[in-house]
Structure 1
Amino acid sequence: MKIGMIGLGAMGRAMARNLVQAGHTVSAWNRSGGSVDGVTMIASPVDAFQCDAVLTMLSDDRAIRSVLLDAGVLKHAKPGLVHVVTSTISVAFARELVALHDAAGIDYVSAPVLGRPDVADKGELNVLAGGAPHAVDKVRPLFDAIGKRVWEMGADAHAANAGKIACNMMITMAIEAMAEAVVLTEANGLTRERFFDLILNTLFGSRSYQIYSANIAAGNYEPGFKASLGLKDVGLAAEAAKEAGRTLRMLSAVHAQMAATVAAGMGERDWSAMAALTIESKD
């Protein structure tokens, strides 16, 4: 397939490389320039929309609105194109994108992904796909190139975004749960290393617990996923809860703690740095 890409951050670059390796012809536009081996850099987002499919990996709602909507890019799209947004965006914005693409006569698929840059490098992302079945089927070869599994979230594209936001919310809750457990266990002479060995081999052996317990045990919060982005994502969860007319108390707690982490100057560190704030606090 001829694939346009918009956004070449750490995740976008990995996706582009894997699409090329899978035999696709990839053309990309990036706000800050740069290059990827095997990828043709193009002059504008409009050029990307002349392909069979476009994969957008920009940071948030605002970036997508600025690059695509404010510039009127959709009206220049090639007939039959499918636009896939893999970014973590708000549920409300995903609904808006569906309506705007319908008005422009373009198929739209929400396909946020689970996985950090190291997972993206290996082409092992989990892809949460939401949208019309015929559109999802058309871009399935893209998903096969960047991911290990496609999780179909249904015909309503925004459901995939709700699923991704909920997953990230739960990761922050896991980080905070481990931090609070460390407070209790270390106060009673049990090292965090021994405690984590216990939970990883009994109750909580998932990838999130494995990755972030290792960060907490080592006190090493080099960014894999920045706390500033984590704050953005739990903010999206808070927005979705408000839209649903519900109060989610655990979400409120981790949202406040992630905000405090960023306010403490750790926005560029890994979002598991939130644990350091909890463990070191004397409140």
Structure 2
Amino acid sequence: MWTSGQKVSYMVVTCHFVDPDWLLQKRVLNFCNVPPPHSGFIIADTLQKCFVDWGIENKEFTVTVDNAKANYVAIRIFKDIFRLRKLLTIGGKLFHVRCCAHVTNLLMQDGLGQIGNIIDCVREGIKHLVASEGRLKQFSEIMKQLQLPSKKLILDVPTRWNSTYLILVTAMEFKEVFSRFQDRDQNFQWVPTIEDWMKVKNICDILEVFNEVTNIVSGSVYPTSNLFLPEVWRMKEVLTAKSVDRNEYIQAMAKKMNEKFEKY
């Protein structure tokens, strides 16, 4: 489910299946407008219609959704229907799959909240820069003077944690440019302190692992059911180690994320 910039709500249904040659296939089965309210019953009805239209109402093995409450209700409805028909493999234990990438996103949103003020500072600074061609030109000139690689400043998408990671990694490469740009533009007030940049560096070392995990489990052209468990364990090992880190802000971040990890 997603909502466009015009506030129109859509549902996209994607099917993964193994063909007779044992190759993984992926098809979009439906892309349709779903007016609000997006209750579990409406989601279930829309999915059911899609299954019937394609003649696959008896062929679902698993359904993967994010962790919205309405999705939980919708899958519970399907589970009850399929259980009555005795169509569920392993008693339905594998039927409802919570999206591993979405769970990782929820973990990271909690963790990044520990440096929310620093992220806001970097984000607002970049917004100020990209809003003017002249500012960007000045920024580029400073980069050349410092012999830094030519890279574009990027803005993140709040709903995708790893885009926030990328904005921080990119900004770290330009930390010297930020302070020098302030000398040229007195209106530029978004310069993290040395201590803030150190926090960003230490946290990005952790985020790099979670970014790799997100990219692996988000793959759509290869099977991920055999990959996600080692990656989940990898996240757990990082959280366990960082929960006793010598830096209190790292400890706080790891403990906050671990609470959400244990929940799922």
Length-normalised TM-score, structure 2: 0.29
Between structure 1 and structure 2, the one with the greater Rg is 2
Length-normalised TM-score, structure 1: 0.27
